[in-house]
């Protein structure tokens, strides 16, 4: 791996401070479910600054920052983000997310990582809050810094947060990805896990093994990027397998693809057996299909690659029965993926979608995870029910989680009006007010703190949940300037 590079863009003092903290945060592995070390880091930082803090039963940390002089009577503010990050890497990366620090790569005004996700989603929230609260030039009321666990795998920390734990009147979530946008609402979501029992047998002697791989897809955030119509590597692979099945018998050995419930799969592969007499035809077919599919996704996934290679035989030459192999392919092709409906209320907003996120074979079973989203609970549950119906048709075992609720927008809140005024004063332009299809923790937190007014902001972050994730350095300074003014004037 390449070493971290140094910044060539000259950062202002505030941006530099945020990046210094972000680099310390990025040195600590913090995959969802592995947040103990980053939580300890935040607790140590609180101790060093003599801030009170508490860690709740779920594992969330809340750090209490006293009000500045003459600001003690102002209503409190919660600055909120999450401790974990999505861990994605390129196939040629040997990065170990359980122990390796994220390596920074500076490209002019942008910061990215070396072949991995950067974790600006949501390490920037922690770094921003730390820099703001240490800045003695900023006046602010009492602050509560809330950083939750396992946001990326189902908003676990926000779901398990206690009732009325927070005292602040206002909550500013720092988990948005456009510095010109105030987010005031988001979709709810629910995951579905399905498993299907598989049957195997020894394949005939005249069958030969191949590996079909789909890679180089753009991927991305399954909420923000689902409307981009990017290729889902699992879907592309299932389509390829169906094409093979139409010209030859095909026996699946194994199939795998995707790594996270909230990331559009970028890579997938399947090991198969086909009759030796069909080998040349299968190779030719895959090559022809690759050209067709790459043309279809030439705009969204220009780097997609589909390959078929002959591989070494498995020791026992076992593969799924012919009809089971076809059943697996049909199952994967039938599961809904992509935009299901657009909002009839907010133009251009994806209302309902699903992401065929992960597939693998383990312990003789096919395991599939699908993540569904909607800004309408009834529509969310309807798409989940449809996915479950597909599972029942093949006899799969099905388990859908409890999910999380949408964050319903309040366009007329006092907080939004104040934020708009301050944004225009500080940055000399109008912010956009948006509802997004991605999931934020605000809906769950607000449900437990009645009357709390909420907004989500953040610097420009592109390609979250993929190794192409990057954050724009000047936008960090702009958001810092906006927040530092807001903290002193919000009352």
Partners of 299 in the β-ladder: none
Task: Indicate if 441 belongs to the active site.
Answer: no
Residue 204 DSSP symbol: P
Verify whether residue 151 is a known catalytic residue: yes
Q: Long-range contacts made by residues 387-394, C-beta under 8 angstroms, separation at least 24?
A: 387/192, 387/194, 387/335, 387/336, 387/354, 388/192, 390/331, 390/334, 390/335, 390/336, 391/192, 391/194, 391/196, 391/331, 393/334, 394/196, 394/327, 394/330, 394/331
Q: How far is CA 335 from the centre of its chain?
A: 20
Residue 388, SS3 per DSSP: helix
C-alpha dihedral (63, 455, 188, 409), degrees to nearest 10 = 150
Please give the sequence-ordered ranges of beta strands (E in DSSP) within 152-218, or none if there are none: 170-173, 181-186, 188-197, 200-202, 207-215
Q: How many CB atoms lie within 10 A of CB 136?
A: 7
What secondary structure letter does DSSP report for 103? P
**Neighbour-count burial of 426, counting CB atoms closer than 10 A to its CB (0-12 exposed, 13-18 middle, 19+ buried):** middle
From 121, 150, 151, 441, active-site residue: 151
Out of 35, 84, 179, 472, which one is annotated catalytic?
A: 84
Contact criterion met (CB below 8 Å) for 166 and 452: yes
Rg (CA), the chain: 24
Tokens for 424, please give them.
């225009």
CA count, 13 A, side-chain hemisphere, 293: 25
| C-alpha span between 329 and 321 (Å, rounded) | 13
Residues forming the active site: 84, 151
């Amino acid at each position: 791996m390449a070493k971290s590079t140094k910044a060539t863009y000259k950062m202002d003092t505030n941006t530099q401070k945020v990046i210094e903290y972000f680099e310390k945060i990025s040195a600590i592995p913090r995959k969802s479910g592995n947040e103990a070390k980053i939580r300890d880091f935040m607790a140590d930082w609180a101790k060093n600054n003599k801030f009170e803090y508490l860690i709740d039963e779920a594992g969330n940390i809340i750090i209490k920052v006293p009000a500045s002089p003459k600001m003690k009577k102002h209503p409190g503010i919660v600055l909120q983000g999450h401790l974990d990050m999505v861990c994605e890497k390129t196939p040629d990366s040997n990065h170990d997310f359980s122990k390796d620090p994220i390596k920074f790569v500076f490209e002019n005004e942008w910061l990215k990582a070396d072949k991995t996700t950067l974790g600006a989603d949501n390490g920037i929230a922690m770094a921003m809050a730390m820099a703001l609260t240490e800045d003695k030039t900023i006046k602010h009321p009492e602050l509560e810094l809330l950083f939750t666990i396992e946001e990326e795998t189902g908003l676990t920390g926000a779901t398990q947060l206690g009732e009325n734990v927070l005292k602040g009147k206002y909550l500013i979530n720092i988990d948005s990805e456009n510095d010109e946008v105030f987010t005031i609402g988001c979709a709810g979501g629910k995951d579905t896990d399905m498993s299907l029992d598989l049957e195997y047998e020894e394949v005939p002697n005249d069958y030969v093994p191949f590996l079909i791989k789909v890679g180089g897809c753009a991927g991305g955030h399954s909420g923000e990027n689902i409307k981009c119509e990017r290729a889902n590597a699992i879907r592309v692979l299932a389509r390829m397998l169906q094409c093979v099945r139409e010209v030859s018998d095909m026996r699946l050995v194994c199939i795998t693809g995707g790594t996270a419930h909230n990331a559009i799969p970028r890579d997938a592969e399947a090991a198969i057996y086909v009759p030796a007499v069909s080998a040349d035809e299968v190779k030719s077919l895959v090559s022809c299909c690759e050209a067709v599919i790459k043309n279809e996704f030439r705009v969204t996934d220009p780097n997609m690659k589909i390959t078929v290679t002959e591989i070494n035989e498995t020791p026992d030459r076992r593969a799924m029965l012919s009809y089971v192999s076809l059943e697996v392919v049909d199952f994967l092709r039938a599961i809904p993926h992509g935009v299901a409906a657009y909002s009839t209320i907010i133009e251009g907003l994806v209302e309902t979608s699903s992401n065929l996120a992960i597939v693998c074979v383990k312990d003789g079973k096919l395991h599939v995870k699908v993540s569904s989203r909607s800004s309408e609970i009834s529509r969310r549950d309807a798409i989940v029910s449809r996915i479950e119906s597909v599972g029942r048709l093949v006899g799969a075992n099905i388990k859908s989680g409890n999910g999380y609720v949408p964050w319903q927008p309040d366009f007329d809140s006092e907080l939004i009006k104040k934020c708009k005024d301050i944004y225009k004063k500080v940055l000399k332009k109008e912010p956009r007010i948006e509802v997004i299809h991605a999931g934020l923790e605000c809906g769950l937190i607000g449900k437990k703190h009645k009357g709390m007014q909420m907004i989500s902001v953040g610097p420009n972050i592109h390609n979250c949940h993929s190794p192409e994730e990057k954050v724009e350095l000047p936008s960090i300074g702009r958001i810092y300037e906006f927040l530092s003014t807001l903290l002193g004037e919000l009352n």
